[in-house]
């Protein structure tokens, strides 16, 4: 008895957590600053935490009303019909829903390289094929319609990540529009805006008034600080929104996740604080770190350090966990999440100290 052939699937490699590293180093996790997974350093809204406490006794019941309530709140937030909100367990759940809704066997998708591994994984799970377009470090991972169209060959779906992970670059709305206009009628452009709250560019949802071939991904994991609850959603054009009922996982988001997300959505002050903190942090890193960086619109900064593995390992011994970007195909780069002001300053100081000690290519 064997599984089907999964050799084309590249496992998703998450950022290392404090407990994992603490066990390895034999220290208390509290001694570590974890800036490896783009989590919100301010945590979740206190209102979301309270909603979980208040809802704890209801976990024996399927999340019927809370699921509907969260969809309705998100629809109101974006000025869309309820049917245009596809709620899911994390944004990756929405990626699966789009794969189910759009892909026939052997259909191809076009994804960025480097980029989020799950785009391709989901397509392959659904018997699709994957092609890539390159984002060039030499051009600060610039995203344009022209560069994507150079690689386009009629794929059924194109993924755009804006802000892009791990670089933080954005694709202007005008470029998304050009891309959608230049591709075939049956090509869906999916704009992943997981970090959209931190950017100053408008959402691609604005294109819904004029197009039915653009979808948007969003999440509560980043600016809202609910990464541990796995709540995400897709926003889709109205004329094919009813496909959700045919492709979704029943009650994909749990009762507590829905209640917490509703509370987080209503706490504008917490979200604004998180956004302001991230914008301060990414500018601080770029201004003070002694290495080349990429301008970022996310809650992280990509830094060229020469030998990412050595620098990452050395930083762990300094109590700082960052993301080695070798799994993205960028072995000379690390990605640093913006922390609190104190954490961000400490991380920059440690990075500069490590870079001063290590020569390029020398193991820690």
Q: Name the DSSP class of 57.
A: G
Closest among 137, 170, 173, 129 to 153, alpha carbons compared: 129
pLDDT digits (tens, 9 = 90+) for 314-330: 998 898 999 999 999 99
| Max Cα distance, the chain (Å) | 58
Least confident of 16-25, 88-97, 157-166, 221-230: 16-25
Q: Percentage of the chain surpassing pLDDT 70?
A: 92
> Terminus-to-terminus CA distance in the chain, angstroms?
44
Whole-number Cα distances in Å, 145 to 107, 160, 183: 21, 10, 10
Give residue 39's pLDDT band: very low, low, confident or very high (50, 70, 90).
very high
**Confidence (pLDDT) at 364:** 42
What is the residue-averaged pLDDT of the chain?
91
The answer to whether 114 and 161 have CB atoms below 8 angstroms apart is no
**Confidence (pLDDT) at 284:** 98
**Confidence (pLDDT) at 363:** 44
Whole-number Cα distances in Å, 214 to 19, 99, 158: 40, 14, 10
**Confidence (pLDDT) at 250:** 84
pLDDT at 16 over 70: no
Give residue 362's pLDDT band: very low, low, confident or very high (50, 70, 90).
very low
Mean pLDDT of 157-180: 97
What SS3 class is residue 87?
strand
């Amino acid at each position: 008895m064997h599984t089907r052939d999964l050799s084309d699937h590249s496992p998703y490699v998450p950022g290392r957590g404090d407990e994992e590293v603490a066990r390895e180093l034999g220290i208390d996790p509290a001694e570590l600053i974890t800036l490896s997974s783009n989590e919100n350093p301010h945590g979740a809204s206190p209102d979301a935490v309270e909603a979980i406490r208040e809802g704890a006794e209801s976990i024996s019941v399927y999340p019927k009303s809370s699921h509907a309530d969260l969809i309705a709140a998100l629809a109101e937030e974006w000025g869309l019909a309820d049917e245009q909100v596809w709620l899911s367990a994390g944004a990756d759940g929405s990626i699966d829903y789009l794969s189910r809704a759009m892909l026939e066997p052997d259909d191809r998708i076009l994804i960025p390289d480097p980029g989020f591994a799950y785009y391709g994984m989901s397509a392959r799970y659904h018997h699709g094929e994957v092609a890539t377009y390159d984002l060039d470090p030499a051009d600060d991972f610039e995203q344009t319609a022209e560069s994507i169209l150079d690689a386009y060959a009629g794929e059924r779906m194109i993924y755009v990540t804006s802000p892009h992970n791990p670089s933080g670059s954005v694709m202007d709305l005008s470029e998304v529009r050009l891309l959608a206009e230049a591709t075939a009628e049956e090509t869906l452009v999916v704009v992943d805006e997981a970090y959209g709250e931190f950017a100053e560019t408008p959402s691609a949802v604005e294109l819904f008034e004029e197009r039915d071939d653009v979808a948007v991904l969003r999440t509560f994991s980043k600016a809202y600080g609910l990464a541990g609850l796995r709540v995400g959603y897709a926003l889709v054009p109205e004329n094919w929104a009813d496909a959700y009922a045919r492709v979704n996982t029943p009650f994909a988001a749990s009762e507590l996740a829905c209640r917490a997300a509703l509370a987080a959505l209503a706490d504008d002050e917490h979200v604004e604080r998180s956004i302001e903190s991230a914008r301060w942090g990414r500018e601080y890193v770029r201004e003070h770190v002694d290495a080349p960086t990429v301008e970022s619109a996310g809650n992280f900064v990509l830094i060229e350090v020469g030998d990412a593995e050595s620098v990452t390992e050395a930083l762990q011994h300094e109590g700082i966990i960052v993301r080695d970007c070798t799994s993205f195909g960028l072995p000379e780069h690390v990605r640093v999440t913006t922390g609190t002001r104190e954490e961000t300053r400490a991380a920059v100081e440690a990075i500069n100290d490590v870079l001063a000690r290590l020569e390029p290519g020398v193991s820690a």
